[in-house]
Amino acid sequence: MKKVLLYFIVSVIMIPQTKADEGMWLLPLIEKLNIRDMKKAGFKLSVKDIYSINSSSIKDAIVIFGGGCTGEIISDQGLVLTNHHCGYGAIQQHSSVENDYLKDGFWAKSKSEEKPTPGLSVQFLERIEDVTSQIAPALTGITSEKERSEIIATLSDSIAGNVKGRRPHIRAYVSQMFGGNDFYLVVYKVYPDVRLVGAPPSSIGKFGADTDNWMWPRHTGDFSIFRVYADSDGNPADYSGNNVPLHPKHHLPISLKGFKEGDFAMIMGFPGRTQRYMTSWEVDERISITNAGMIKIRGIRQELMMEDMLADPKVKIQYATKYSGSSNYWKNSIGMNRALKKLKIIDRKQAQEAQFASWAAADLRRKEKYGDALPLIESAIKERAKNLYAKQYLSETALRGSEIISRASDFVRLYNLLKDNKTSEVQIESSAHKKEMDNFFKNYSRSTDRKISAAMLKLYCDNVPQEDRPDIFNDIYSEYAGDFEKYIDSLLSGTFLLDREKVSTFLDSPATETLDNDIAFKLAYSILQKMEKFRQEDENSSLKYREGHRKYVAGLREMNEGIRPVYPDANSTMRMTYGKISGYEPQDAEYFDCVTTAGGILEKEDPDNWEFEVPAKLKQLVETKDFGDYTMKDGRLPVNFIFGGDITGGNSGSPVLNGKGELIGTAFDGNWEAMSGDIAFESNLQRCINLDIRYTLFVIDKYADAKYLIDEMTIIK
């Protein structure tokens, strides 16, 4: 009896838990796994109201915004709501020293003033379909992991290709779930004409900046608004003055009724990546190599970047998006390492692995099927450690850390196409570079890049052994005696890639000889050759890890079958999460409430700190309590709130819905105490931080005087 009880207790913690609010659930499986629990928690609709292929449903109002965020349709005229930090690149793209929309905000007063944003698109999910039965039979008897991967790739391309056909704005692919044991076809419709409608100033949209990032309590108006345009028939179309606002299948009604602690809430969006099935060896690798490298390297780079941003308004605009993108995951890594250690995640993972090994060894069939899963993973992680460290430094300091090296590396694909005489593909690649050229030169500061590049290359050589460096570093030392400032000066003055006219001339008639003789391209090419060598050296360990991980996940599912439902790791496919609006206790004798109000903005105000500046008009509105219809019952203006939803990167901008499917907020962050959440969910600590829709509407109406936008929304009072 004791053995049975022990097995049950340990097995419950072996897999991602559904206790409390955990779970990033696949939409086609809601009926089977979740609906009964959701109804008990306060959900008032049906599964078909969430996800339906044949009729309008909530999923038709949720979009992938840009490349890595979520947005939601909030009017029958294609209005899209997302986070300020998700729209940040578009806002920056339209900003200049004369019209600094990052600093001052932007509001179109009519559709004719909305700003086309080249390169920005939204994607609507059309359907997600289990196609495991079309792939799994072909894998029977296949023992080679490499051969297995090749079969999966071939069949996946065929399945997706049959769906996409010749439709130019359809995106289709097969997504692997549960460690490569299940397969789902995912189909999207892509709309490439998306225009900026409105955004508050950064003093509202990024209030608190790096200091408050990932923290609760929060007082940030993290939102921006765009509009989707289509052709006259409602089909996706590239930008044209003849395009019209999209009339969507569904748009979200907006509730001003608010909520109370304990109420049901749910999120639908596109979470990026989680690693809930990660082993103890992988957690140690994340702490000591991946996160440690990112923390050290990006910290130095960001300090240098910020020096120039604070000294020059032009540089501040040019590097706003670059700094924001870097610092977000830099602080995430700091918080994750802190939480992983404090919550003893490695110890917990080791206990799980010991139980799994005992379970697998207790049965001959299970031993044969799963017995080598953990040894394969452990061996692979140890084998790749040295190269992973070197790759991490090379990627962060050179390919990401130096703009000129990054730019030069972008030309390697064109170089290889030229060498292979692929004329038509060369033309396509050259055209793509021409389209990108204006954006690069607009946002490039030679002096800033000089300072950062020299520091990054020195940092790289100070931390990576000579035998693990690209061959070109031997030449740099012999010719420049390790003087990286001198080398970077030669590189920046000698490369044609920083001369707009020369680049344009080259792209009109590209030749390998031009790149062969360019000092920056030589450096980038040598770096990428080294990265490719690392990849080849790691191929066996990669295959070994893939096999071990697949078996481990399959074993965990079997071991816990019938105990509780499970979900696959996030992989940028649409998911749903739900839970209760509630505060939490971050540590002994401390409790955080579930909502913040506008009074907290003034409490945090610091005119001498750019992170906590408060616009004069906002301050006046708060001081006079001119809140309009957007208050709570007690007359206070809500700003942010938290609930126990399970989100990660990619969920930024996701709608927070009440039990009736009405919009009550937008998700924009996780909380500091549970930064280990991508690896291990913390039911007592983990909360997602959201912008209350009433504060969003207040800013649009009272601060921006853009009530015409609210008039096209469906408001539930």
Catalytic residue IDs: 85, 222, 652
Which of helix, strand or coil describes residue 369?
A: helix
Nearest CA-CA partner of 254 in 690, 632, 662, 639? 662
Task: Read off the tokens for 204.
Answer: 């509202």
The pair of three-digit structure tokens given for residue 8, joined into one six-digit string? 């049950």
280: left (phi over 0), alpha (psi -120 to 50) or beta: alpha
Confirm if 443 and 556 have CB atoms less than 8 A apart.
no
* CB 712 within 8 Å of CB 79: yes
The candidate with the shortest Cα–Cα distance to 264, out of 635, 664, 678, is 664
SS3 of 187-211: the string is EEEEECEEEEEEECCHHHHCCCHHH
| Distance from C-alpha of 435 to C-alpha of 73, rounded to nearest angstrom | 29
| Cα–Cα distance for residue pair 204/210, rounded to 1 Å | 14
Per-residue exposure over 208-227, b if at least 16 CB sit within 10 Å of its own CB, e if not: bbbebbbbbbbbbbbbbbbb
Residue-wise DSSP of 94-161: T--SSS-HHHH-EE-SSGGG-EE-TT--EEEEEEEEE-HHHHGGGGTT---HHHHHHHHHHHHHHHHH
* C-alpha closest to that of 249 among 47, 58, 45: 58
- Strand 254-255 and strand 715-716: the pairing is parallel
CA–CA gap between residue 388 and residue 406 (Å, rounded): 20
- The end-to-end CA distance of the chain, in Å, is 57
* Residue-wise DSSP of 498-517: G-HHHHHHHHHS--HHHHHT
Tell me the C-alpha to C-alpha distance, in Å, between residue 343 and each of 189, 352, 549, 682. Answer: 42, 15, 24, 9
- Residues with Cβ < 8 Å from 197, sequence gap 6 or more? 79, 107, 108, 114, 225, 226, 227, 709
What letter would DSSP give residue 75? B
Residue 427, helix vs strand vs coil: helix
Backbone angles phi, psi at 129, to 5 degrees: -135, 130
Angle of helix 345-361 relative to helix 539-559, nearest 10 degrees, comes to 70
Tell me the residue type at 286.
Answer: R
Tell me if residue 182 falls in helix, strand or coil.
strand
